[in-house]
Amino acid sequence: MSSAQPIAQDRAPGGDHPPSRLRQLAAASIGNAVEWYDWYAYSFLAVYFADQIFPKGAGNSLVPLLSTFAVFAVGFFMRPIGGLLMGAVADRRGRRAALTLTILLMGGGSLLVALTPTYAATGVLAPIVLVVARLVQGLSVGGEFAASTTFLVESAGPGRRGLFASFQYVSTTAGQLLAAGTGALLAGLLTEDQMGRWGWRIAFLLGALLSLLGLWIRRGARETLTQEPDAAGAGTAQSAGRPGLFEGLRRYPRQSLLICGITAGGTIAYYTWTTYLPTYAQVNAGFDKGDALTVGTLSLAFFAVLQPLGGLLSDRIGRKPMLLVFALGFAVSAVPLLHLVTDAFVSLLLVQCAGMVLLTGYTSIAAAVNAELFPARVRAAGIGFPYSLTVALFGGTAPYVGTWFKQAGHSDLFPWYVAVICLVSFFVYLALPETAHRPLDKELAHHGS
């Protein structure tokens, strides 16, 4: 029996009073919203700072913007590395330590973007600084899902893991809406010339400041890893048996593959409906650009409201029915729904909201389902790497694949692509055990390992 004392169940760090579950929820959710604000601010404001950082190509005014979005993609593919490294920190040093580190990295990356010099002033140093900033942010956001997912689910009370897990996407959506709103507000208050010269930097400075708020909230949270090292950081069973970097993949290959299968359909549906659909409507149906952004904002707000309802429902009926309805629903309806998109405002709004209802069957419980597959010892890293890799491969490429099909003259194939990936996930969900009502393993389980 270990001599290390359990800390997650009965007291907060530095105090004897029972910890507040609301504080735990706020620590994960507010911090996660700040993370995603910083991440999405880049894509919303790229059109303003592209010319400042990248020189124009000969006769091609799109070169700066294309280069800026190429840097965005580089950050996206840093997410699996972040999921692995930050997940390992969460499993070795504790969830709170990982959450503190991810928000520090995101805030530092956001500050670096805000202070990025112009190409005219420093030449090639400008894009190098921007690339470094996005690499740091990619590491952060990749690790954020692994750490905050684990932290949320382990903080939940009995029969409330689905509800707590749902706040992963509530806060993600809140961050996305905040970034869009901040960009719109700045664009409304400043001239286009002011936005291009210095206005865009305000949004990233705000992100750095918000990161300090998230850091303060997270530092007061309770650790959910139920055993802690001694004061010297060595000599206890935990420090003697810390999990290796790839232990989750090595010891639990089936669970790692399940994470990929669970995520594939969910991430492609998520990025198609929350990110790409307005562009899809513009390109394929001639939808007005301003109206498309309005529809996207309204549907995202609707989506955020649905998440806790989905989480509560899963705590009653289980995770598996929710996942099966989501996947089969998209496999059957993705094609007809996307074909219903016209240039009418109400058509896009109804299609996007209908998809959001189905999508909630995945997003509201993804954190719980993933966390319930792994033991506490390797939970964060076990989730982080396969999840982030699958998101990068299927979710992050969804807008590109959709645009490529259109450019190749086969725009009708993209809905089928979404449907097929969701059908694959449907069969994975059929093979999943129901974990909603099982006790969550909160021990490090180092005995005999």
Distance in angstroms (rounded) separating the CA atoms of residues 240 and 433: 32
Q: Mind listing the domains of the chain with CATH numbers?
A: 10-223 (1.20.1250.20), 243-438 (1.20.1250.20)
Q: Read off the pTM.
A: 0.81
**Nearest alpha carbon to residue 204 among 136, 147, 304:** 136
Contact 37, 175 (CB under 8 A): yes
Please report the DSSP string for 225-277 in residue order: SS----TTS-SSHHHHTPPPTTHHHHH-HHHHHHHHHHHHHHHHHHHIIIIIH
Secondary structure (3-state) at 15: coil
pLDDT recorded at residue 35: 85
Please spell the DSSP secondary structure of 400-444, one letter per residue: HHHHHHHHTT-TTHHHHHHHHHHHHHHHHHHHPPP-TTSPP--S-
Please state, as a whole number, how many other Cβ atoms lie within 10 Å of the Cβ of residue 357: 15
What is the spatial distance between Cα 434 and Cα 162, in angstroms, rounded to a whole number? 13
Question: What's the rounded Cα separation, in Å, for the pair 333 and 170?
Answer: 24
* CA 301 – CA 323 distance, rounded (Å): 22
Helices H / strands E in the chain, number of each:
20, 0
SS3 call for 373: coil
Per-residue pLDDT of the chain (449 residues; tens, 9 = 90+): 333 333 333 344 444 444 578 888 888 888 889 888 988 888 778 778 877 887 765 445 555 655 665 666 677 778 889 988 998 999 888 899 999 999 999 999 999 999 999 888 888 888 888 888 988 988 898 888 889 989 999 988 888 999 999 999 999 999 989 988 898 888 889 888 898 889 999 999 999 999 998 888 888 888 888 754 444 444 443 444 677 777 878 888 899 999 999 999 999 999 889 888 887 888 788 888 778 878 888 999 999 999 999 999 999 999 999 999 999 999 999 999 988 988 889 999 999 999 999 999 999 999 999 999 988 888 988 898 899 899 888 887 787 788 788 778 888 888 999 999 999 999 999 999 998 888 887 644 333 33
pLDDT of residue 235: 41
φ and ψ at residue 18, rounded to 5 degrees: -60, 135
